[in-house]
């Protein structure tokens, strides 16, 4: 049975909600617990699907994962870590991309890892070549097997001099989780430095790791033979916070997001203000609202941190359909992240996607066949329609378009949204959205 959301649009979303630990940090901090010689404690853990997937994978590998019923805080005890059957791993990996980050920690704790073919949102090819390249340079032996890869390190993992062709978030995390207990020193050039990565480094430092981040995207790690456990409160989810901020703008609403953190969202806040959104920052969160009047178009490029996040792009594009004039958005992180605009066009938005790099310099996808620049002309009246959610962020943007549209929309595939938005239907209810959920 799957759930169907019937949304009656046109109601400004107003009220309060809370964002908890970041989807792009929490599962990785859980994997890091495998590196310790004693239990770790993780706080501010959201109820999202990636947390369930990693919990199951850790349990299969002998890690005792216990949840505080009231708070959802986790205790992760790796002392009995063991090999798991490849069939079980495959069955529990779901459509998450996190399993690839088990490589280093599993080799350190049990000598080998099996990584099933990965899932995740269909927003580009999403290869794992950077991951496998760095693992090989640490001395790992990677064998392709049916439905996945087997990785071992008969001669142990040794520190290496590494350089990434692009500042990949996942590959940087792969290096961190492998190098901290490898023999000797590791130098990583071209590293990603997203706040979620810095929070993972904070977790590893609490465990006893020695990691230095330089200003030029170089990270240095001095390997140690043993790590302890950690106690850590996950940083809040800045993607979810920005998604609700865009929802406030699109529906001409007013949303207080408890947990939203200014220092992790500075680039987003600048853009939000330029479009015509308003915000008030307080100690424990940020109020985002439409101050009245017209929204302004802009030229925007997504980029790695400290640039405008690719995951902030989709909900903001919905706001740009309501701005007076022509906006250009150049997606430079993923080659195929504008598929979600088809549904917006069916709802009445004026959006064309192009193969050229528009609005600024050339990116890796220029002169290739990728529709990675969007031209959005507004304002457009959106009308309700039938929508099948394609991916996490695109799906959220469809949802807020439906909430702003005139008439009724029928939205299927909403389980995908649970991957990154904790209890989103409860939050929508608290914000006064007019919708029903039925099962089909
Ligand atoms: N890339 C390669 N080879 C690799 C790895 C990456 O070519 O081996 C390319 C990717 O295809 C992409 C670019 O490098 O074009 C950046 O990918 P990255 O590795 O940074 O992404 P990721 O680690 O797979 C994480 C988040 C994504 C987020 C990106 C960028 C998690 C679980 N996922 O993905 O989040 O968009 O970083 O910030 O942390 C989302 O939350 O909806 C989401 C997709």
pLDDT tens digits along 59-78: 999 999 999 988 889 999 99
Q: How far apart are the first and last CA of the chain?
A: 6
* CA neighbor of 342 nearest in space, from 333, 329, 351: 351
pLDDT tens digits along 397-440: 999 999 999 999 999 999 999 889 999 999 999 999 999 999 87
Asked whether 81 and 110 are in contact (CB, 8 A), the reply is yes
* CA neighbor of 408 nearest in space, from 78, 33, 58, 8: 8
- Give the Cα separation of 309 and 155 in Å (integer): 39
List helix spans (H) across 77-168.
86-92, 103-110, 129-137
- How many residues appear in the chain? 440
| Residue whose CA is at the smallest distance from ligand 1 atom 6 | 168
Residues contacting residue 178 through CB under 8 Å, at least 6 positions apart:
103, 104, 105, 107, 108, 134, 135, 138, 157
Residues 112 and 249 in one domain: no
Which residues of the chain carry a pLDDT beneath 70? 119-125
| pLDDT of res. 254 | 98
Residues 298 and 311 in one domain: yes
- Give the Cα separation of 250 and 233 in Å (integer): 32
| pLDDT of res. 70 | 84
Ligand 1 center to residue 290 CA distance, Å? Answer: 31
Domain-ending residue, one of 233, 267, 299: 233
- Give the Cα separation of 338 and 350 in Å (integer): 13
Question: What is the H or E stretch that residue 420 is in?
Answer: none
**Bridge partners of residue 149, in order along the sequence:** 115, 144
Q: Residue 230: how many CA atoms within 13 Å on its side-chain side?
A: 26
Ligand 1 center to residue 177 CA distance, Å? Answer: 16
Residue 393 in contact with ligand 1 by CB distance below 6 A: yes
Asked whether 264 and 257 are in contact (CB, 8 A), the reply is no
Residues 173 and 266 in one domain: no
- Give the Cα separation of 189 and 316 in Å (integer): 32
Buried b / exposed e over 281-295, threshold 16 CB at 10 Å, is: eeeebbbbbbeeeeb
pTM over 0.85: yes
Residues 149 and 218 in one domain: yes
| pLDDT of res. 439 | 87
Residue span of the structural domain in which 172 resides: 26-233
Residues 149 and 252 in one domain: no
| pLDDT of res. 120 | 60
Residue 245 in contact with ligand 1 by CB distance below 6 A: no
Give Cα separations from 381 to 8, 70, 73, 323 (angstroms). 15, 44, 44, 11
Residue 392 in contact with ligand 1 by CB distance below 6 A: yes
List helix spans (H) across 325-364.
341-346
* Pocket test residue of 21, 126, 137, 420 for ligand 1, highest count of atoms within 8 A of CB: 126
Residues 415 and 303 in one domain: yes
Tokens of residue 380, six digits: 């457009």
Q: How many structural domains does the chain have?
A: 2
Domain-ending residue, one of 233, 268, 294: 233
Q: In what order do the strands lie in the sheet with 231-233?
A: 64-67, 74-77, 40-43, 231-233
| pLDDT of res. 146 | 79
Domain-ending residue, one of 184, 211, 233: 233
Asked whether 401 and 366 are in contact (CB, 8 A), the reply is no
Residues 294 and 412 in one domain: yes
Residues 328 and 376 in one domain: yes
* Pocket test residue of 168, 188, 390, 393 for ligand 1, highest count of atoms within 8 A of CB: 168
Residues 366 and 406 in one domain: yes
Residues 106 and 161 in one domain: yes
Tokens of residue 75, six digits: 């205790």
Residues 382 and 418 in one domain: yes
The active-site residue out of 103, 121, 357, 363 is 121
Check which CATH number belongs to the domain holding 194 and give it: 3.65.10.10
Q: For residue 103, indicate whether it is catalytic.
A: no
Question: What is the H or E stretch that residue 95 is in?
Answer: none
Rg of the chain in Å (alpha carbons): 22
| Residue whose CA is at the smallest distance from ligand 1 atom 24 | 170
Ligand 1 center to residue 51 CA distance, Å? Answer: 18
Instruction: State the Cα torsion 30-33-38-41 to the nearest 10°.
Output: -30
Ligand 1 center to residue 22 CA distance, Å? Answer: 15
Residues 91 and 193 in one domain: yes
* CA neighbor of 371 nearest in space, from 386, 392, 351, 356: 356
Q: How far is CA 123 from the centre of its chain?
A: 12
């Amino acid at each position: 049975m799957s759930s169907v959301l019937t949304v009656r649009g046109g109601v400004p979303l107003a009220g309060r909600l809370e964002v908890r630990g970041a989807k792009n940090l929490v599962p990785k901090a859980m994997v890091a617990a495998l590196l310790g010689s004693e239990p770790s404690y993780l706080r501010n853990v959201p109820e999202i699907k990636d947390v369930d997937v990693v919990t199951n994978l850790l349990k299969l590998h002998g890690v005792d994962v216990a949840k505080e019923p009231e708070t959802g805080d986790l205790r992760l005890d790796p002392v009995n870590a063991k090999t798991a059957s490849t069939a079980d791993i495959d069955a529990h990996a779901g459509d998450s991309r996190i399993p690839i980050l088990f490589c280093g920690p599993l080799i350190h704790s049990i000598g080998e890892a099996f990584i099933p073919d990965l899932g995740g949102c269909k927003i580009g090819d999403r290869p794992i070549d950077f991951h496998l390249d760095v693992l090989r340079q640490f001395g790992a032996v990677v064998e392709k097997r049916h439905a996945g890869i087997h990785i071992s390190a008969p001669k142990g993992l040794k520190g290496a001099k590494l350089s990434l062709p692009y500042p990949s978030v996942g590959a940087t995390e792969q290096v961190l989780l492998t190098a901290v207990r490898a023999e000797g020193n590791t130098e990583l050039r071209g590293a990603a430095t997203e706040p979620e990565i810095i929070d993972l480094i904070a977790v590893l430092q609490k465990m006893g790791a020695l990691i230095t981040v330089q200003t030029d995207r170089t990270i240095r790690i001095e390997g140690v033979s043993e790590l302890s456990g950690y106690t850590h409160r996950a940083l809040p989810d800045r993607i979810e916070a920005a998604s609700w901020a865009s929802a406030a703008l699109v529906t001409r609403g007013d949303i207080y997001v408890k947990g939203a953190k200014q220092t992790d969202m500075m680039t987003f806040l600048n853009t939000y203000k330029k479009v015509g959104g308003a915000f008030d920052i307080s100690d424990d969160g940020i109020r985002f609202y439409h101050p009245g009047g017209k929204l302004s178009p802009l030229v925007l490029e997504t980029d790695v941190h400290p640039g405008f996040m690719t995951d902030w792009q989709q909900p903001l594009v919905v706001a740009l359909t309501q701005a007076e004039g022509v906006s250009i958005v150049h997606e430079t992180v993923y080659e195929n992240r504008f598929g979600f605009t088809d549904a917006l066009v069916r709802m009445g938005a004026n959006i064309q996607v192009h193969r050229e790099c528009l609005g600024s310099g050339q990116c890796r996808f220029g002169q290739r066949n990728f529709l990675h620049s969007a031209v959005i002309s507004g304002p457009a009246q959106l009308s309700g329609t039938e929508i099948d959610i394609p991916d996490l962020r695109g799906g959220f943007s469809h949802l807020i378009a439906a909430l702003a549209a005139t008439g009724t929309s029928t939205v299927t595939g909403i389980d995908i949204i649970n991957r990154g938005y904790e209890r989103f239907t409860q939050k929508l209810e608290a914000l006064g959205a007019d919708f029903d959920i039925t099962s089909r």
